[in-house]
């Protein structure tokens, strides 16, 4: 009965929103666009003359689309699981649910169900698209069923983890950060099992390896992996049910004798920029930030262990090194973006944003205070990846030139995602949409790069032959970026940045595949440097428009 109350709010109301219909249409349309792009690429570089050629194309296409869907489903499920609870905490409405007649299992399971329904509808919308891909041949219904089963099980486990961690931690940022590091740890455990020459265990644990194993023509149904995901979801949900009331019930502390006697406390000195002081010197991002730092250090240690394992090999595999480093770097960039966007949305949800708007703070003080405060609070996430890139030189995996390109390029991307997070927090009035836009753009750029590289490697061909088929994807990406970034300030700079980023990212990918490191670095520097300036200038110049402030603060 009471689960239905949460379900009516989280499940029945959600499908009626316009955004959910748009998300399904965009997702299905994106998959269709990828299929069309792959077909144009392969027909422009090869001859499809026999049924066997079409079947090979269908099999390759499935191995491109399936990992893309797995990554998006896990990210979307984890993000939805965190935001569903984090928004309640930020708005101080979770306490109202706790004092209602809802039981703890009904509250936790209801929130989890509301998170899963979004991802489930996306997967349902993708079924006809994958069926169309199967018409080329080389793909059986059993393969599609196994693939969707693995994806759904991994997404359910990710949503349960995000849901439980969001109930546990006191801010949305901490929940997002720990969840992203938990996802990286999950992948690291699977790769460690594969490195230990135990492929059966790796298939049971790793979502990626379970997915590719399920795509084999005669593979059995992945019941062990589904059982592991079910165990993860059951454990996370049970843990959340057992601790939800203890974690989110504040017990008033008795005043100390000094306080009760009225003894004045020592005032703290505030810096010239109070926003920067608050971000670094107070608990602006929640209590016990040490938990987030420990989770990050564990993820970083896993990346270092993967690099060290390759160093012991006679001929280190650069692809294996990238597999060890890239998930950790992506998790750090997602976490920095989450910290930046929640540093703004939490002010709005807690009612302190209006106080800042009526103060004498200048727009540049607020924006730069948030940007530097985010980078200072996340110093470990900024510095340690740089150290890992430099560590590739003594390991014999990279030269000093390549290490310099990596460090400078990573610095540009780090500052870009920080500016993106602050801009999204200022542009969107609701926390759910701001967080989804900021993290969605970061994930889109990285997952899109990985998918493009897989397509270009799988079907080959020269840059000139592949440029025309990818034009539709470039234009579609530009339109999507502009729609997401120009919510309240459709400035020409944002329009140019939206048009340039997908195009130059494609140029950087082709340069990387051709082995031109300097070209990749210069293109990334130009594209994301311009994108950073295009978002930073409106954040300051159009601050009143973005925030809805009616005065200039002077």
Q: What is the DSSP string of 420-442?
A: HHHHHHHH-SSHHHHHHHHHHHH
Same domain as 157, residue 29? yes
Q: CA 535 → CA 82, 340, 490, 505, 532, distances in Å?
A: 26, 13, 11, 18, 5
Looking at residue 483, its pLDDT comes to 84
Same domain as 384, residue 320? yes
Cα atoms in the Cβ-side hemisphere of radius 13 Å centred on 96: 7
377 CB-near residues (< 8 Å, 6+ apart):
279, 280, 284, 285, 289, 339
Helices (H) and strands (E) in the chain, counts: 23, 0
In a domain, 52, yes or no: yes
Same domain as 455, residue 306? yes
Instruction: Measure CA 469 to chain center.
Output: 27
Same domain as 160, residue 232? yes
Query: What is the distance between the terminal CA atoms of the chain, rounded to a whole angstrom?
Result: 54
In a domain, 177, yes or no: no
In a domain, 68, yes or no: yes
Segment-wise mean pLDDT, segments of 10 residues, the chain, 554 residues: 47 53 85 86 72 85 91 92 88 85 91 91 92 84 92 95 93 90 87 70 87 86 91 95 88 52 64 83 78 88 83 73 84 91 84 75 86 91 90 85 92 94 86 86 84 78 67 82 78 87 86 84 93 86 64 42
Looking at residue 252, its pLDDT comes to 52
In a domain, 34, yes or no: yes
Same domain as 213, residue 95? yes
Same domain as 100, residue 144? yes
In a domain, 179, yes or no: no
Segments forming the whole domain that contains residue 440: 279-547
Same domain as 320, residue 227? no
In a domain, 264, yes or no: no
Q: State residue 351 phi and psi, 5-degree precision.
A: 80, 10
Would the CA dihedral through 542, 547, 551, 554 be positive or negative?
A: negative
Three-state helix/strand/coil letters over 66-82: HHHHHHHHHHHHHHHHH
Looking at residue 495, its pLDDT comes to 87
Looking at residue 12, its pLDDT comes to 39
In a domain, 553, yes or no: no
Same domain as 456, residue 316? yes
Same domain as 221, residue 93? yes
In a domain, 485, yes or no: yes
Give the C-alpha separation, 3 to 323, whole Å.
42
Same domain as 426, residue 337? yes
Looking at residue 127, its pLDDT comes to 93
Same domain as 346, residue 208? no
Domain count, the chain: 2
| Other CB atoms within 10 Å distance of the CB of residue 176 | 29
Q: In terms of pTM, does the model score above 0.75?
A: yes
Same domain as 426, residue 383? yes
């Amino acid at each position: 009965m009471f689960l239905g109350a949460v379900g009516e709010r989280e499940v029945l109301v959600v499908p009626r929103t316009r955004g959910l219909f748009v998300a399904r249409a965009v997702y299905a349309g994106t998959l269709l666009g990828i299929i069309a792009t792959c077909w144009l690429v392969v027909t422009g570089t090869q001859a499809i003359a026999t049924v066997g050629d079409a079947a090979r194309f269908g099999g390759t296409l499935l191995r491109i689309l399936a990992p893309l869907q797995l990554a998006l489903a896990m990210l979307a499920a984890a993000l939805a699981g965190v935001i569903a609870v984090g928004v309640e905490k930020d708005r101080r409405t979770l306490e109202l649910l706790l004092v209602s007649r809802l039981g703890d299992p009904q509250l936790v399971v209801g929130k989890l169900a509301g998170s899963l329904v979004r991802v489930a509808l996306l997967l349902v919308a993708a079924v006809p698209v994958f069926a169309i891909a199967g018409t080329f041949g080389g793909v059986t219904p059993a393969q599609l069923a196994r693939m969707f089963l693995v994806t759904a099980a991994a997404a359910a486990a990710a949503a349960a983890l995000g849901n439980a961690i969001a109930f546990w931690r006191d801010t949305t940022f901490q929940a997002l950060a720990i969840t992203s590091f938990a996802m990286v740890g999950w992948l690291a455990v699977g790769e460690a099992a594969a490195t230990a020459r135990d492929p059966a265990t790796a298939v049971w644990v790793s979502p990626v390896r379970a997915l590719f194993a399920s795509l084999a023509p005669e593979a059995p149904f992945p019941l062990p992996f589904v059982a592991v995901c079910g165990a993860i979801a059951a454990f996370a949900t049970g843990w959340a049910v057992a601790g939800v009331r203890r974690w989110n019930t504040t017990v008033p502390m008795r005043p100390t004798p000094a306080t009760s006697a009225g003894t004045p406390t020592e005032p703290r000195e505030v810096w010239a920029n109070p926003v920067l002081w608050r971000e670094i010197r107070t608990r602006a991002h929640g209590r016990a930030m040490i938990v987030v730092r420990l989770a990050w250090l564990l993820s970083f240690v896993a990346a270092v262990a993967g690099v060290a394992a390759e160093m012991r090999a006679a001929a280190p595999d650069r692809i294996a090194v990238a597999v060890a480093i890239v998930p950790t770097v992506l998790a750090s960039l997602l976490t920095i973006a989450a910290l930046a966007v929640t540093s703004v949305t939490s002010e709005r949800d807690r009612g302190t944003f209006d106080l800042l708007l009526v103060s004498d703070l200048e727009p540049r003080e607020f924006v730069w205070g948030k940007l530097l405060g985010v980078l200072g609070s996340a110093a470990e996430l900024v510095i340690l990846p740089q150290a890992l890139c430099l560590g590739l030189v003594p390991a014999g995996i990279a030269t000093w030139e390549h290490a310099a390109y990596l460090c400078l390029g990573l610095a540009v991307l780090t500052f870009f995602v920080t500016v993106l997070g602050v801009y999204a927090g200022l542009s969107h009035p609701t926390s759910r949409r701001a967080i989804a836009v900021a993290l969605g753009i970061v994930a889109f750029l990285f997952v899109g790069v990985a998918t493009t590289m897989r397509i270009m490697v799988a079907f080959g061909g020269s840059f000139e032959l592949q440029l025309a088929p990818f034009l539709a994807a470039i234009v579609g990406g530009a339109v999507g970026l502009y729609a997401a970034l120009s919510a309240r300030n459709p400035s020409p700079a944002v329009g140019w940045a939206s048009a340039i980023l997908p195009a130059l990212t494609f140029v950087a990918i082709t340069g990387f595949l051709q082995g031109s490191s300097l070209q990749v670095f210069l293109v990334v520097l130009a594209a994301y440097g311009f994108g950073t300036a295009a978002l930073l200038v409106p954040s300051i110049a159009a601050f009143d428009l973005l925030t809805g402030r009616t005065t200039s603060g002077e």
